[in-house]
Amino acid sequence: MKLHQNQLWRRGTDLYRIVHLERLSVDYKKIDPQHPDGGTHHQVSKKEFCRLIKGAVVEK
């Protein structure tokens, strides 16, 4: 799995956009599809993020 900045992942009804990507950490924004301008920022390790998006698909 290749991660890139500004990638948008969909898992069920949840959307996750990678805001900032580093070697060992990921800053992402969880977006509500009803209100795409809002969202909450989170910072996790890359391993945690990969577990979070397991089974998700990349939106284009």
Question: Which 3-state string (H, E, C) describes the chain?
Answer: CCCCCCCEEEECCEEEEEEEECCCEEEEEEEECCEEEEEEEEEEEHHHHHHHCCCCEEEC
> Domain total for the chain?
1
Q: Residue 46: left if φ>0, alpha if ψ -120 to 50, beta else—which one?
A: alpha
Enter the pTM of the model. Answer: 0.87
The answer on pLDDT for 60 being more than 90 is: no
pLDDT, tens digit (0-9, with 9 covering 90-100), for 2-59: 999 999 999 999 999 999 999 999 999 999 888 778 889 999 999 999 999 999 999 9
Range of the domain at 7: 1-37
> Quick check: is 24 in a domain?
yes
> Quick check: is 21 in a domain?
yes
Tell which wins on pLDDT, 60 or 27.
Answer: 27
> Quick check: is 56 in a domain?
no
> Quick check: is 11 in a domain?
yes
> Quick check: is 57 in a domain?
no
